[in-house]
Structure 1
């Protein structure tokens, strides 16, 4: 069966599908659009752009695409407020997040754009309190090693280490009830890390819509990216796989009332 199927009664040979194809996989033939290239990246542009739903692609089936007529487009002011309202949540309610909600969150994360539609990101979700505490302890141990060996990051690690050792405060995962770890193949780096960050950004933006908050688990990611074996062993990570990002996730303890500003915009034109 051909990868590209065209409904000849609907197709008017407008060439929209041909023009949007990023790899020139589709060309216009005598009988309409046809697959003549060598590389379809399954982006679905060809199917999504057709106003008459005349084209189908086995790699991006028409039946699995949602009509944009059913999806409201935010006006500029609403979109800006939505994006600005995202906050890094570091104080969580001590409530278990149902796994169904985490799956709902990650089902949106997987839809994030990726380089050449390569995707290649999987997720490990850790929601057992004992394991989360062990992770925090191991990351602190690693940070202390960095201080002792004179790492440039040593001064930055000193205060969190001191707080943890003196008070037991979880300065790594912030007592979040859930940690989402993005994983990609080592032979897919660095693109796998970029794709992971795109997907986790989608998760961060979507989280408030399902009453969740999130925060980038930066200390954890740095430790895991260094290949710190005690942490890698705890995660049960296969040798050919690498941690490429992580988010703390849970129900926010507090509600924020105002939109916070950032540094002034800096732009150069050429």
Structure 2
């Protein structure tokens, strides 16, 4: 049975029916009923929205649900400052992040929305800076080969020169890299990953950590799938779908910077 209802508590308000995104719940004589299990995407909306806590779902463990005292959870001004305070950090302290904190980052990332609630993103965390140094050398050698062919991104020569001068233009000296991977056949794997890693980055700042998308590494990974899959030990069927640097920031930003002027049109 997909859902069970405490008929003594249920007031048959129908809120759970309206909240179901795929329409597999209907309101019967004794309260909400499941029309079918097949269409349910296990999002948990029905359980979370019930004002009387009268509904239980086969795939939503009520013991793991967290009750919130009020909604919205934070006020608009706090939310604005929080979102605007996120920065791409490219200077890191030479200090490792405890494994527990790294796990917190990916744990919060899993709460991001995903297409059809498939929650299909997996994570591979590089803790050892030595591994990143090895990957850095592989990326730079690849860039040199790309430059030799005459077909390369305009920034590659700059990054190669930087590397030859002892700098790290790929991982920026970060102690850790968090790689996201998703099933190759999943159409929305990149979208899902971007949302997950956006959650991760936002949470990182509040946890006292810095982060930045590893774009150059992603360039390399896209052109060297087999190597990356083997080196990171990706499970069969998974491909790299995103990567983020993580560490303790060596810089502190004192202002919330402006962006380009808002461009908006009202469609009638």
TM-score by length of 1: 0.94
Deviation for aligned residue 1:62: 2.4
Q: Which runs of 5+ in 2 are unaligned?
A: none
Partner residue in 1 for 2:8: 9
Structure 1 pair 71/24, CA: closer, same or farther in 2 (3 Å)? closer
Q: Deviations over 1:108-139 (max 9, x none)?
A: 01111111111100000001121110111111
Partner residue in 2 for 1:250: 247
Contact 1:142 1:228 in 2 (8 A): no
Contact 2:225 2:239 in 1 (8 A): no
Q: Which runs of 5+ in 1 are unaligned?
A: none
Deviation for aligned residue 1:161: 1.2
Partner residue in 1 for 2:55: 55
Equivalent positions of 1:9-48 (< 5 A) are 9-37=8-36, 38-48=38-48
Contact 1:147 1:155 in 2 (8 A): no
Q: Deviations over 1:16-47 (max 9, x none)?
A: 00011011111111221111133111111000
1:241 aligns to 2:216 (yes or no): no
CA distance in 2, matches of 1:53, 1:150: 64
**Over aligned residues, Cα RMSD in angstroms?**
1.5
CA distance in 1, matches of 2:26, 2:102: 41
Contact 2:113 2:195 in 1 (8 A): yes
Contact 1:138 1:231 in 2 (8 A): no
Partner residue in 1 for 2:101: 101
Partner residue in 2 for 1:197: 194
Contact 2:89 2:210 in 1 (8 A): yes
**Most deviating of 74-83 and 171-180:** 74-83
Aligned residues: 266
Partner residue in 1 for 2:206: 209
CA distance in 1, matches of 2:25, 2:227: 49
Contact 1:182 1:245 in 2 (8 A): yes
User: After the TM superposition, which segments of 4 or more aligned residues of structure 1 sit over 6 Å from their partners?
Assistant: none
User: SS at 1:67's partner residue?
Assistant: coil
CA distance in 2, matches of 1:258, 1:54: 47
Partner residue in 2 for 1:80: 80
CA distance in 2, matches of 1:146, 1:267: 39
Partner residue in 2 for 1:171: 169
